[in-house]
Structure 1
Amino acid sequence: MAEHLPEVVTDDPAAISDLTDQAMEAAGREGIEVSEIYEEVGSVFEVIAAAMQHRDGSSPAADLTEFDLLAGRLSREANLTDAQARDLIERFGTDWETLLNEAYFLKELEAGRLQE
């Protein structure tokens, strides 16, 4: 994996999400099923985020989790509470575009501009 990571360390969830998509596409081209990947590593997003932050071999134990980083960014960019952002990530995964769409849909519902 280290050969394919950008040279910069980033905690940008969108960049990490792009790398996750690229990894999943590469696996698909090699005939590796998505279910096999999830069985092996759980969250590809979290694996890549940890690799980005700890390419020097340091321990991730004291850092914020990648989930925290993603929830924080979603909360800020979509004007959600932390709990709302975390709920959306748990329900819809880590795809940034999906999260933003769902966040804006939620805000529209709250504002009464849409009906459930």
Structure 2
Amino acid sequence: MAEHLPNAMTDDPMAVSDLADEMMKGAEREGIPASEIHEEVDSVFGVIFEAMHHREGSLPEAEKAVLDQLAARLAREAGISDDQAGELLKRIGTDWDSLLNEAHFLKELEGRLEQE
């Protein structure tokens, strides 16, 4: 993995998420199913984030801060609460498109319930 990580460190959750998406697409091109990867690791995002930061000796606690930033961005862009965004991250993972889809669905569902 170290050969394929960018030389720069980043705390930008979107950059790390993009790298995770790129890695999953590369694995798919090589015939490695996502299910096989998820048997080995809970979060591709977490593994990449940790790998990028451990090169410089930083602490794994930084992962929580990045996930909090990702949740805050999701909440802001989709109009849901921070708690809801955090729950979606726990349930879905860090795939941005999936998170946005679920967040918009949740927001639409809440709107329908309020109308009733």
With normalisation by structure 1, the TM-score equals 0.76
Count of aligned pairs between the two proteins: 114
Deviation at 1:113, TM superposition (A): 8.6
Contact persistence 1:72–1:82 (CA under 8 A): yes
Which residue pairs with 1:108 in the alignment? 108
**2:78 matched to 1:78?**
yes
With normalisation by structure 2, the TM-score equals 0.76
Identity, in percent, stands at 60
Which runs of 4 or more aligned residues in structure 1 lie more than 4 Å from their structure 2 counterparts after TM superposition? none
Deviations 1:15-54 (A, max 9, x none): 2222112111222233333222222222111101222333
Aligned-partner Cα distance in 2 for 1:59–1:82: 24
Distance 1:8-1:96 versus aligned 2 partners, 3 A rule: same
Cα RMSD, aligned residues only: 2.5
Aligned-partner Cα distance in 2 for 1:77–1:51: 28
Aligned-partner Cα distance in 2 for 1:44–1:10: 16
Which residue pairs with 2:17 in the alignment? 17
Letter in 2 for 1:93: G
Letter in 1 for 2:111: A
SS of aligned partner of 1:56: coil
Which residue pairs with 2:99 in the alignment? 99
SS of aligned partner of 1:111: helix
Contact persistence 2:49–2:63 (CA under 8 A): no
Q: Point out where structure 1 has 5 or more consecutive residues left out of the alignment.
A: none
Which residue pairs with 1:43 in the alignment? 43
Deviation at 1:64, TM superposition (A): 4.5
